[in-house]
Each structure stands twice: as C-alpha cells, then as structure tokens.
Chain A
C-alpha cells in the first residue's frame, strides 16, 4: 500500500498574528511554523494504516518555499518513509491551483491512498484534498473519522451533522480528508528525529498552472462585539419575554 499524506506548514498556535501592510496576509518574519493540526492526524492515520497492514510506504508531501521541509522532516521523524517537497516560493492561496500543482507532482507516484487534514488552520478552505482526488481520478471522501481497509476496498466512517455518522465503501485508489481527533498523534522520538535526517526528500520545482479561480482580497481581525439585551418590566412581562426569546431567537424551547 503506497500512502501519501499532505502536510501543510501553517503559522504555529503560539505565533503573533500581525497583518501585513498590503492587508492580504500576515507578517511572516515573527512566525514559528508548525504542521497543520488536522494534517498531523492524517499522518498518524497513514502510519497506523501501514502498521495495521504490516507493509507499505508512507510519503509526506508539502507545497511551499524551502521552510516547509521542516514540516516534512517532522513527518519523517514520526515515521513517514520519505518526503516530497513541491517547491513553490510564492504559493497561491487558491485550493484549485494548489491541488493542480500537487496532481502534477504526485501523478507519477500512483498512490493507492492519499490522506490530508480536512482543512488548513490558516486559510481553512477545506478543498485541496478533494480536488486533488478528482484531478487524479480517485475515489474521494471527506470528514473521515475512521478507516478500514480490506481486500482492496476502503471503508470510511464519515462525520455528518448533529452527531450522525455514515459508513461509506469505496474503491482504491482513494483520496480522503481526515477529521481532527480520530486518533492520538504519536510523540516524535529523538531516535526518529535523528533518523529523519537520513531519509530522502525529493524536491520538485512547481509553478502555479492555469487560471486563478479565487484570490484573497483582504484579511482582518474580526471586531469583538458583545451585545447584551436587558429584559425589563415586572416579573410576568420578563418571564413572557424570556420565553419568547428562548423560543424564537435562541430556539431552545
């Protein structure tokens, strides 16, 4: 089983998020980068699938400038076998473009399974994994909570709304996106970190292809607002109003 995991490098949770002068991104100088959270669950799932099957290869792929190799190394330290760096110094924020770049770079590899986190912590589009699956003509599924592979078939448990789940069966090759929390990502051992240095990272130059379907217009910090409405009047009026609010506005009654 040849498995690929897309690991995105995103600003770490403890980084100061200051908006850049052109208001289109954040100031990158002060940022400590980290692996996108749901991608780390995808990586763990890939490693566990390989362990369950007792054979296979896990390849960690990431797109971006040279710094993303740190994130690939992190994946290698945890147990991925090799890495692919799709090198693009100015990566687009358009999922369509990125998925296209990945498709071109990964096509030759003929992966049986591609995993990625369900969305990134920075742009939160949630589309790259799916589009990549479509480009490569693979089965796709999203919001996966559990995986089960047997006899060349993949079964996944998907998260639906309101606490509902759904089991879906599909053929391989497949490309699925993983929901955070489905497993416990392993702790990187020093042995793994040291061993990762010896593992191969294949660098593939890449530039955005085709038309840009969407672009970031502006980012901003949302204004914090707090609206408190005081219900006044005598007790009966207050109760009547409160019941009304609970029924119609908050919809808990």
Chain B
C-alpha cells in the first residue's frame, strides 16, 4: 500500500530477497510429514483441483451458519489479506517497471478504493478475532494464546503482529497521500482522512520510519510465515487438494489374514495401528499440520459436550506437536498414545463424525483415532475392559451379547412367525439382514417383527439367514479390532455368497454401513438398502398402503451411520410423513448433518465412559423439548439408547420411543 516518491532503495530488494529465501527455506517445515507411512487413497485430477479452489481458496467450509461470528471474522481477515497480498504483488511489478501500462497504479481510482477496502476488512477481521479470543471466549477455543502448540507467536501474537502491519500500512499510505497530494486521493477513503490528522511536514518526518517499519515487518512476517499459525493459508490448500472426499472417513483395511500368512512379517518390527508419529500416513500428518485450531470439531463433539476427556482438536494438534518435535527438535517427544493422548480420550469417541462434518480443512479424524485404537487393541491387547467380553462373544457366539447362535431366530418362533430361511429357499429378491440387535435385544426384536409384517403385507419375496447370520463386526472395527472384523466379514461373505438375492435390507445403519460400504474391500459386493429407504420405496410405489392416522407430533433422531456417514436424511422423514394425519414432524435443534449422537456408536454400546453426563440422556432431553409425543429412530443402537434414556429420565408415560418400521407397521391394514 505504500509508495515512495523517490525510488525504492536497493537495500530493500536485498532484504526482500533474503526474506523470501528464508520463507522458502522455512517451507521445509511441511516436509516433516514425509516420515509418515504411505497413504492408500486414489486421487483424480479434477476433484483435486476443485477441492483446492472450492474448499481451499474458496474456504467453503469455513462459512458455517452455526459459527456465524467466526465465519464473518474469517471472511474479512482472509479476503482482506488476499486483497492486500495481490495489491502488494501488483505494486511490486509496477515498481520494477513491468506491465505499468496494464496494471493499475497506486492512485488508479478503483485500485485505491479496493485497497482501502482490503485494509479495512483485514483490520476488522483481526479485531473481531481478538475480541473473540479475549472477550467472547467461546469455550473450546484455545486460551493459552501467545506461545502455543507448535506455532510461533501462538494464536494472539500473530493477530497483534498482523494488526500492526495492517495499521502501519494505512499510516504509510496516509503519509504518501499527504506528501504527494495525488488528484485521486479521495478514492483512498481511509488513507486521505487519516492524512489529515497531521501536517504535511510531520508526515515528511515520519514517512521513512513508517515506510521502513511497514516494509520490514511485512518481510519479517513473510519470512516466518511457515512457523506461525498463518502457515495454514498454504498447507490447507495443499491438504484439501490431496483429500479424496469420497473416501474421506473410510477406514483402511489392514488385511490381517494376509499379514499373518506372510512369512516375511517380523512380529517385533511390524506396526499394528498407530502410536508413534511415524505410524500415521503422511496424509494424516498433513491433516494435523493443517489444523487451524478453530475448535469447531471440539465444540460439536458429543463426548466433549458431556464433559468427557475427548477433544478431537487436542488429539490432532498433539500429533502435530509430536511431529514437529520428532522432526525438528533435539528433545525427545513425549509418547503419543498412553502418553500425551490417554486411552480414555480415544475410547470416548463414538465415531459419530460430527467433527469431520464441521472441519473446515477436511481433516480425517475418525480413521486417525481408529488407528490409535487399533494400536491399543491389536498391539497392546487393551480394549476397554467392559468391551473385551463383547469382542470375545462376537468371535465365540457370533453376537456381542454372547447369546447362543442357535437362538438367533427365537424372537420369531416366540412370536409365531415362520421365517423364510435362505438355507431352504436358496434364492430371494430381498435378503433381510436382521442384525444382532434385531435378533437378541428384546426392544429391537419388535422392529424385526414390524419388518416382517411390512414384508408380508407388501408381498415382498424375502428370506433371512437365520442362525447362519453373524455379527457384521461393526463395533469390533470401530474399536480397532480389525482382526475380529475381518474374521466376521470373511465368514459373513462366505455365507452370503452361497445364496442368490438382489438386495440386502437391514434396519441397522451399522450393519448397513459395514455390509454396503466396507465388505467390498474383502470381496463382498452387495446392494444394501437401509429399511428407511426400502419402506419409503414401498410406500412411494404403492406396494405398501399406509393409512395416515398419526395425530400426535413426532420428532426424528438422526442416526450417525445413516445420516452423516451415509447421507440419508430424507427417507426416514418421508416415511414418518407418510403416516401423519394431523401430527407434525418436529425437528430438534441439532438435526440432519448437525445431529447429536445417541452415544452408542464406535463400540460405545459395549462400554461406559464413567465421566460426565450420559450422551443419550442429553440427546433425549433435546428430543423431549420439541414436545413431540414420539421420538422416532431408524437405528438399533439409537433405539436402545433412547429407550434407556427415557427410563433414566422417568418419562416412559409421556414419550414413546419407536423405530420408523414400528410406526409404519402400526399404520398398515
């Protein structure tokens, strides 16, 4: 923004060149991620360019109504910064005598105008940021802000630094305007009024000081940028460009059985899961380097919001800290898992995906956390104490409850239902995957009965696996027990491949997610449909005639593995709407992609974190506040957890918890 009436002294260019060289040298900080392992993801040119423009430069996910203040703040700061950056580049070219004819000059009216706009946006953004950090203080935002977590000047120091540069720029401009008196000075709508505060003579004296301090501070900023928080402006573009958004969130198969057969594999050397920084992939490390500590992940985390130890942001930045120390410091870093990241933090995660949904820089939290869980379970043999029984049961009995596998169809026998078995039919249009909860949990058995009623009324050609069905291994996989998951997957794929069917239908989003999304890596490719979509389809195609007779309000609780993980938000709502007479479908405050977990995902169904509030009770209260008489779910675990919460809260007589299949089954003739 500044220009001298006399030529820029040569010494400036020398210093500038040094600053840029130092900046380039400091960029090597990013090479720290090279100590990571190979990343297994395919990248295609077009989506990657799109990502870098849309999520990187375009900052699409920074904008969030939920975090509106921070969104506006960042908009001002970032776009102001970018405008000033370009203005400086243009200035540089014209000063060197390049493109003087085509590029705007300092006093070209529109350029003068927008440069002041840029400066104002920049300063407003910084002031908003400082206000937020010192007055607003949204809770999970880091508060130790001058040193901090691997970034030079911390969070506040860099803001003050930038503020000085921004304000200094305006003063420098004011001095120039006061001395040069250009005709178009009034277009510099901040610079001109500012120049009026002192006499031209005063400005004359101040000018060299203002100019040099602004120039040197700016160069200093550029040279140390990779060591400050502002590094994210570069790294994030790289990180989103190298993210495959289609596979983001997917867990990488370990192919344990191959590993076990490999005679070369040295058990003492082999890495199972991740506990040291070198055991993460370079992309996971790049994720950690990209983290801006905006704390959005933590502020939406159900574990954090119920006072558990987990803060996703802390874990990601712990990894970064460890990476920088390992790579650039003589100190030995504190160990990660079991050291700076304790086991309870990791086990508090319900893998609900709220953090990933919010993350503006597309960090892949869940697979990273799962890798650490894999270390705990596969390498250390330390699943949560309560959960180890469920894992052993899954292997021994084929269900986490440890009930006899021969009792899998007892629910139907007791209800007088004669289940068509695949073993007898060999072929059916629909394979109904009952799931362990649907088979063994008394509450969920009712959902299975409702499904059978729907199949029968709609005349669906269906069959079940009966006692041949086994746990899909979902909970095991989320808990990091990849070996058990693989065992279950292999066994189920073998069973499924004996039969002919077109589609698997299941009422459990966890079964849906594993069967439909994860078994393909082990050779099981099936068309899997969740019952919400299946029922919606039956109703839409009038294969199932429902009588809309519900006159009471219903609220729907989104299941994480149906919603956020698989993008199904509308079908369960449509199904509920189809049975409504006078009742309304009420939305909770946190719904759809911003939904709040029931607390059972990620294996949490099988152990309790004895700290803070119970997630299901918190979610139940939110549902209760809508005033709805029915809380509808579309997930075995959610149903179980809500049913538990309604009892804890003593509201059984006020509110009922129903799966959408039960609601439909009650409204068909």
Which of A129-137, A188-196, A236-244 is near enough to bind chain B? A188-196
What DSSP secondary structure best describes chain B's contact surface?
helix
A34→B395 CA distance, assembly (Å) = 11
Determine whether B388 belongs to the interface, using a CB cutoff of 8 Å to chain A.
yes
Q: 25 A-B residue contacts at CB 8 Å?
A: A13-B397, A14-B396, A14-B398, A14-B404, A14-B405, A16-B406, A32-B396, A34-B396, A78-B381, A184-B388, A186-B388, A187-B391, A189-B272, A189-B377, A189-B380, A190-B256, A191-B270, A191-B272, A191-B379, A191-B380, A191-B381, A194-B265, A194-B267, A194-B270, A195-B267
Beta-carbon nearest neighbor of B406 in chain A: A16
Determine whether A198 belongs to the interface, using a CB cutoff of 8 Å to chain B.
yes
In the assembled complex, how far is the CB of residue B375 from the closest CB belonging to chain A, in whole angstroms?
A: 10
In the assembled complex, how far is the CB of residue B487 from the closest CB belonging to chain A, in whole angstroms?
A: 11
Q: Which parts of B391-443 form the interface with A (CB within 8 Å)? A: 391-392, 396-398, 402, 404-406
Determine whether A12 belongs to the interface, using a CB cutoff of 8 Å to chain B.
yes
Determine whether B260 belongs to the interface, using a CB cutoff of 8 Å to chain A.
yes
Interface pair B378/A189, CB less than 8 Å apart: yes
Determine whether B383 belongs to the interface, using a CB cutoff of 8 Å to chain A.
yes
A189→B396 CA distance, assembly (Å) = 16
Which one of A12, A184, A190, A191 lies within 8 Å of B396 (CB-CB)?
A12
Give per-residue flags for A177-214: 1 if the beta carbon is below 8 A from chain B beta carbons, else 0. Answer: 00000001011111111110010000000000000000
Interface pair A190/B379, CB less than 8 Å apart: yes
A196→B656 CA distance, assembly (Å) = 51
In the assembled complex, how far is the CB of residue A74 from the closest CB belonging to chain B, in whole angstroms?
A: 11
Q: A191-B267, A191-B272 are in contact. Are A186 and B397 (CB under 8 A)?
A: no
In the assembled complex, how far is the CB of residue B332 from the closest CB belonging to chain A, in whole angstroms?
A: 24
Give per-residue flags for A75-101: 1 if the beta carbon is below 8 A from chain B beta carbons, else 0. Answer: 000100000000000000000000000
B-side contacts of A184, CB under 8 Å? 385, 388
What DSSP secondary structure best describes chain A's contact surface?
loop
Determine whether B382 belongs to the interface, using a CB cutoff of 8 Å to chain A.
yes
B-side contacts of A188, CB under 8 Å? 381
Interface pair B406/A190, CB less than 8 Å apart: no
B-side contacts of A194, CB under 8 Å? 259-260, 265, 267, 270
B-side contacts of A187, CB under 8 Å? 377, 381-383, 388, 391-392
- Most chain A beta-carbon contacts within 10 A, residue among B378, B382, B402: B378
Determine whether B81 belongs to the interface, using a CB cutoff of 8 Å to chain A.
no
Beta-carbon nearest neighbor of A198 in chain B: B267
A144→B201 CA distance, assembly (Å) = 97
Beta-carbon nearest neighbor of A13 in chain B: B396
Determine whether B561 belongs to the interface, using a CB cutoff of 8 Å to chain A.
no
Determine whether B483 belongs to the interface, using a CB cutoff of 8 Å to chain A.
yes
Beta-carbon nearest neighbor of B405 in chain A: A14
A191→B265 CA distance, assembly (Å) = 11
Beta-carbon nearest neighbor of A32 in chain B: B396
A78→B392 CA distance, assembly (Å) = 13
A188→B395 CA distance, assembly (Å) = 12
- Most chain A beta-carbon contacts within 10 A, residue among B267, B383, B392: B267
Q: Which parts of A13-63 form the interface with B (CB within 8 Å)? A: 13-14, 16, 32, 34
A193→B378 CA distance, assembly (Å) = 9
In the assembled complex, how far is the CB of residue B286 from the closest CB belonging to chain A, in whole angstroms?
A: 28
A12→B402 CA distance, assembly (Å) = 12
Q: Which parts of B341-394 form the interface with A (CB within 8 Å)? A: 377-383, 385, 388, 391-392
Q: Which parts of B497-554 form the interface with A (CB within 8 Å)? A: none
In the assembled complex, how far is the CB of residue A129 from the closest CB belonging to chain B, in whole angstroms?
A: 24
A-side contacts of B406, CB under 8 Å? 14, 16
B-side contacts of A186, CB under 8 Å? 381, 388
A134→B402 CA distance, assembly (Å) = 38
In the assembled complex, how far is the CB of residue A91 from the closest CB belonging to chain B, in whole angstroms?
A: 23
In the assembled complex, how far is the CB of residue A237 from the closest CB belonging to chain B, in whole angstroms?
A: 38
B-side contacts of A13, CB under 8 Å? 396-397, 402
